Amino acid sequence: MDSNGIGSYISKLFENYILVALSVIVAFLYRFFFPEEQYLYGTLAVLGMMALDLITKLYAIKKQAGGWRKSIASCKISSQLFFKGTIDKLIVFGVMLIICGFAYRLTILSQVAIWFTQVVFTLMFLRDALSIIENLRDAGIKSLGLFEKVVRKKMSEYVDNNDDEEAKG
């Protein structure tokens, strides 16, 4: 292939301006949200836990109502309720991703931002793990107490409970 053929090929790649603009935007957003590989894996882990939480919630409601048909007929499973809960979680997760992206650009040492992001992802992961355990317990599955204690203990290591004690007193 000669230089004219290469030039012609490259110019054809940029003919679709919308595709080029979208590619630039997606590349920018990817670089902003996932400046390090750990960010991508953490995001996938938290999104996976959110999906598993939704599935176990549906399962628990089905078990409590006595089947899929009964749970839908009694409006215990409705798309509006699940949509609202899922959107709320995704908005919180999106905001935290933006904060972590800004933190990476703000800090002089990238390791500080990576540590902060790992704490954020770990807390969100543990929160969903606890919710999954509670959903399974609501579905009638026994012997989850040990797992629940471990998750609660890990969460208490990350979160200061002084605010909760002050609110009670």
Residues 18 and 42 in one domain: no
pLDDT at 79: 67
Q: Measured between alpha carbons, how far is 66 from 69 in angstroms, rounded to an integer? A: 8
Same structural domain, 20 and 51: no
Kindly give, in sequence order, each residue whose CB lies less than 8 Å from that of residue 63, ignoring residues fewer than 6 positions away. Answer: 138, 139, 140
For 122, the domain range is 37-168
Burial class (CB in 10 A: 0-12, 13-18, 19+), 141: middle
pLDDT tens, residue by residue, 121-156: 998 998 898 888 888 888 887 777 777 777 777 777
- Non-local (6+) Cβ contacts of 37 within 8 A are none
pLDDT at 169: 43
pTM greater than the 0.85 cutoff: no
Domain shared by 94 and 112, yes or no: yes
pLDDT tens sequence for the chain (169 residues): 677 778 787 777 777 788 888 888 999 999 988 888 888 999 999 999 999 998 998 888 877 777 767 666 666 666 676 778 788 889 999 999 999 988 888 878 788 888 889 999 998 998 898 888 888 888 887 777 777 777 777 777 767 655 444 444 4
Same-domain status, 121 and 162: yes
Residue 162 confidence (pLDDT): 55
Same domain, 68 and 19: no
Q: What is the pLDDT of residue 70?
A: 67
Same domain, 27 and 104: no
| Residue-level pLDDT at 35 | 87
Same domain, 63 and 18: no
- Regarding whether 82 and 28 lie in a shared domain, the answer is no
Considering its fold, how many domains does the chain have in total?
2
